[in-house]
């Protein structure tokens, strides 16, 4: 017999969450052990959370079912589509216009390469601009590279590649210097004249305060600066609205460029390159397991599909991060991100009984699972059909009202859109699909198992294990974006025999699909979410008719 869950209404929960006294709410005793909580309530642990891949270099390895369909999908194009196309050439082709792609393009140019960067939307339209909380780097006198390394390995459940984590944390201070040199303005913890040191905050799952930020829209500030640097470099050709529909290979299996689709002119573009850097981001817009997402419109796992089809190995593609504090109400803003910055400065999570139920600065997967548990066991809050818990901003802002204007600027704007006064009323939150923990397997210089193909940013795996710490994503994209650009530029000078370039790997892929008995006719990459109503051939035909 199923018992109906009786959620608290928002009005009831507000009364309990805002008692007359000023004392801080205690944490409810009797917490579940971390492993037990995750196994019972995290979406990655559900009965339908994974299937074995049937083909490709990771055959037999677990993958999320929706993602498996895409990485096992058939190609969008064939040899006939390349007939009569005149190729253009570049030294390094960067696919993806977010932070990792921009960093790769800038680094490759500094190394002397001619660069083309192709963005599905426009350069800068990416998850990078949505990274609000900040960037981790061990730059404080009370911190160390070893502590950053240990926190990252532990936070990722001890499955991240130690060599990649060592590279991430080791390059961190230099990345911060590089960003400051480009013009990024990080917050200072000094006097009114701005003469202080870099302000540092603590992130969930860490043992030291090492988050550097620009208010609570750090990613937007950083992307503004690196985008301008790319656009001002005459040696970088920027192709906006030009998604990659397939990689190119030579007859030795080496990656040798890509086929792009010019969405403005509705034609294919053939680009030959000495090296290709995939920086296509994650998979949030696939809405895995039905969750809303904080991701930008283009996050549809394109890079995973392209890399896997040409033969690159993947890792941890059954692991995803759900950010604990996505907006749960009003319905039209569900999934919009409320930065961890709010919890890092003291905002508490409160259930429908007015209880704190988890350490707000526990790792994100733990906080997510705890929120899902509260809702599953009837201690959530219901409002207009939406369910969640409260982020108790009134208690935070009562003692520190200046936070909303100085550090939580994005939260202030989001609260206005939610028609909530955060000084008086908590915001209702629920986990939102946020990050792809796994991806294409790389080495310390971002090389994949396919010669000539490099990956950087969220499309790459092994850096974060099975859970990512706040602030490590922004560090990741610039550490490995720069390393990918440098390594790709070295390929320009590498001696190579001339081979026929085309879609030989696609033909091998199609034969493997046939031998495995795969009849699913899904074509990948999907390029845009289902609700984008985009179909490549129809789009091309409409252009010809117009």
Please list, in sequence order, all residues whose beta carbon lies within 8 angstroms of the beta carbon of residue 111, skipping any fewer than 6 positions away: 485, 486, 489, 490
Look at the alpha carbons of 170, 174, 179, 182 in this order and tell me if their dihedral is positive or negative.
Answer: negative
Does residue 330 have a cis bond before it (omega within 30 degrees)? Answer: yes
C-beta separation of 435 from 321 below 8 A: yes
Q: Which of 50, 315, 343, 364 is catalytic?
A: 364
The phi, psi pair for 439, rounded to 5°, reads 165, -150
Instruction: Please tell me the distance from the alpha carbon of residue 326 to that of residue 324, in angstroms, as a whole number.
Output: 6
Q: Compute the residue count for the chain.
A: 546
CA distances from 491 to 21, 87, 91, 451, 486 (A): 66, 19, 8, 10, 9
Active site residue 364: yes
For tokens 């009370």, name the residue. 142
Strand order in the sheet with 209-212: 135-136, 209-212, 201-202
Nearest to 57 by CA among 258, 381, 317, 282: 317
For tokens 């906080």, name the residue. 367
Tokens representing 352?
């429908």
Angle at 133 between CA 328 and CA 14, to 5 degrees: 35
C-beta separation of 466 from 85 below 8 A: no
Q: What is the 3-state secondary structure of 138-206?
A: CCCCCCCHHHHHHHHHHHCCCCCCHHHHHHHHHHHHHHHHHHHHHCCCCCECCCCCCCCCECCEECCCC
Q: What is the 3-state secondary structure of 35-98?
A: HHHHHHHCHHHCCCCCEECCCCCCCCCEECHHHHHHHCCEECCCHHHHCCCCCEEEEEEEECCC
Tally of CB atoms within 10 A around 114 = 17
Instruction: Please tell me the distance from the alpha carbon of residue 38 to that of residue 406, in angstroms, as a whole number.
Output: 35
Nearest to 491 by CA among 91, 88, 101: 91
DSSP per residue, 300-311: S-HHHHHHHHHT
Angle at 399 between CA 396 and CA 405, to 5 degrees: 70
* Active centre residues (catalytic): 364
């Amino acid at each position: 017999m199923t018992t109906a869950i009786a959620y608290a209404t928002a009005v009831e929960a507000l009364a309990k969450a805002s008692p007359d006294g000023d004392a801080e709410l205690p944490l409810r005793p009797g917490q579940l052990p971390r492993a037990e909580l995750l196994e019972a309530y995290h979406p990655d642990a559900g009965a339908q959370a994974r299937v074995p891949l049937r083909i490709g270099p990771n055959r037999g390895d677990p993958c999320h079912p929706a993602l498996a369909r895409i990485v096992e999908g058939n190609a969008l194009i064939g040899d006939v589509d390349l007939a009569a196309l005149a190729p253009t050439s570049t030294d390094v082709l960067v696919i993806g216009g977010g932070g990792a792609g921009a960093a790769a393009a800038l680094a490759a140019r500094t190394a002397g390469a001619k660069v083309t960067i192709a963005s599905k939307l426009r350069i800068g339209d990416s998850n990078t601009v949505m990274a609000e909380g900040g960037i981790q780097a061990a730059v404080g006198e009370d911190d160390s590279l070893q502590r950053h390394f240990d926190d990252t390995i532990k936070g990722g459940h001890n499955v991240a590649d130690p060599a990649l984590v060592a590279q991430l944390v080791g390059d961190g201070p230099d990345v911060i210097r590089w960003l400051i040199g480009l013009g990024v303005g990080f917050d200072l913890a000094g006097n009114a004249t701005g003469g202080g040191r870099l302000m540092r905050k603590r992130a969930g799952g860490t043992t030291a305060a090492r988050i550097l930020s620009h208010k609570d829209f750090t990613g937007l500030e950083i992307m503004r600066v690196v985008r301008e640097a790319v656009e001002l470099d005459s040696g970088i050709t920027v192709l906006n609205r030009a998604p990659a529909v397939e990689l190119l290979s030579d007859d030795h299996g080496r990656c040798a460029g890509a086929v792009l689709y010019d969405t403005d002119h509705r034609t294919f573009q053939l680009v030959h390159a000495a090296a290709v850097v995939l920086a296509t981001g994650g998979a949030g817009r696939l809405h895995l397991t039905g969750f809303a997402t904080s991701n930008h419109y283009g996050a549809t796992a394109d890079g995973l599909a392209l890399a896997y089809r040409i033969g690159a190995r993947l890792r941890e593609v059954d692991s995803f991060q759900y950010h604990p504090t996505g907006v749960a109400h009003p319905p039209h803003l569900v999934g919009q991100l409320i930065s961890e910055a709010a919890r890092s400065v003291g905002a508490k999570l409160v259930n429908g009984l007015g209880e704190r139920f988890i350490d707000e600065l526990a790792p994100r997967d733990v906080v997510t699972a705890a929120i899902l548990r509260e809702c599953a066991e009837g201690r959530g809050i219901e409002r207009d059909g939406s369910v969640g818990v409260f982020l108790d901003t009134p208690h935070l802002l009562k003692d520190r009202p200046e936070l909303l204007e100085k550090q939580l600027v994005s939260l202030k704007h989001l609260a206005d859109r939610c028609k909530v006064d955060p000084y008086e009323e908590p915001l209702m939150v629920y986990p939102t699909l946020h990050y792809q923990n796994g991806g294409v397997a790389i080495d310390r210089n971002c090389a994949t198992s396919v010669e000539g193909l490099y990956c950087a940013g969220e499309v790459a795996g092994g850096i974060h294990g099975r859970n990512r710490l706040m602030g490590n994503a922004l560090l990741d994209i610039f550490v490995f974006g720069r390393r990918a650009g440098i390594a790709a530029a070295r390929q320009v000078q590498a001696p190579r025999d001339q081979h026929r370039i085309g879609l030989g790997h696609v033909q091998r892929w199609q034969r493997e699909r046939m031998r495995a008995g795969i009849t699913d006719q899904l074509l990948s990459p999907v390029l845009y979410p289902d609700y984008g109503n985009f179909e490549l051939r129809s789009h091309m035909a409409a252009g010809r008719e117009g």
